Structure 1
Amino acid sequence: MDPLHWLRQGDAVTQASALLLLAMSVASWVVILWKVRVMHRAGADVPRCTAAFWQAPSLSAAASQIEAFDREALVLPLVGAANSVAKSERAETLAARGSAEQQLTRVLRDALHGVLGRLQFGQVLLATVGSTAPFVGLLGTVWGIYHALTTIAGAGQITIDRVAGPVGEALVMTAAGLAVAIPAVLAYNVFGRLIGRIEADLEGFARDLRELLLDAPAAD
């Protein structure tokens, strides 16, 4: 049984299914390897940055101290947003007309959404690959079996030996679909759990930062 021979002999649907699975596999593994690096750095950076922040004498000093630790820029945007509110002057804009509490809530929320958006990047692709790759493989298998049986039937006599080879080769597409989907699903679940932990830490830090500035507006 030679799957490559069957693929070369296949029609446009079979070859397109195989190429789509290959593209899905390459894309998901690129995202997986990139997110492994990001999650490893983020898991170490967030605790170090928050610890350095609480030991700093002011917001400006804290931003300078955590800049070297925050390689993925997860904590620094929150501190920068809070610092911008602490140093801002009253202006004739709708944003500046709100109370300090409203301004802090808004800028910290926006900064937090931006940070979480970077952490979530690639999750949609992994979920899409994990949910669709088996069906793409199944499509290739069904179409390959149909194509093989049609060819055999047109050749005349049908025997088990003549059917088993092409059908077995077509079933490789189902296995390929599962081989593409399983790593994507596992990575999605693992990264989702890690992102949830980091998100909880960042939300807690943003809440503490907001309370700090509201209780001590002249902290910087």
Structure 2
Amino acid sequence: MLKLPPLPSLDALICEFDTALRTLAAPAQSVREHPDRHVDDVELSAADKQHAAGLMRVNHCGEVCAQALYQGQALTARDPAAREALREAAHEEVEHLAWTEQRLAELGSHKSLLNPLWYAGSLAIGVTAGLIGDKWNLGFLAETERQVGAHLQSHLQTLPEADQKSRAIVAQMYTDEMSHAEKAIELGAAELPASVKAVMQGSSKVMTSLSYRV
């Protein structure tokens, strides 16, 4: 029989609601130095700037989804170590939000208008993953980070060569995401079925395609 985690307190729910508002509406802050701080900006062609902005919007949207996903997973995690790993990953994702948000502004572009929709869907997925059990919860974290890492690697291949600022951000994000995946595996993450991975990949393609443009 499925053992449900304890229900969160009213104070905890208020804190989670505050997290959602800050993710969607408030400027994100980074404790660490922005990876591109010491990289000189250069003038990009209109096409290169538009493409770089599209990719950074996808990355920002991905971090919005990650915040909601890990928030939902942490809410329903039973093991304190798993819950802490999820919250730690979410904390670093806030820094990724700050980096991509600033770079979008520098490129003269905007965040995805669909972020509230992606946030709500990711939160629901995270809660569901947590309810299934901690090893699957951690498995979902590991697989999410692996798929995000693959996206980031593809962005490094297609970002304009001259856009070293965006490249520096994406490279550090990749390092962080792989670290989260390794941490989840160390804590006992289960390997997800191929069918679940395929659904995750399909959902990701929809999100990236839309957020690149909108």
Confirm or deny a common fold (TM above 0.5): no
TM-score by length of 1: 0.34
Structure of larger gyration radius: 1
Q: Which has the higher helix share?
A: 1
TM-score by length of 2: 0.34
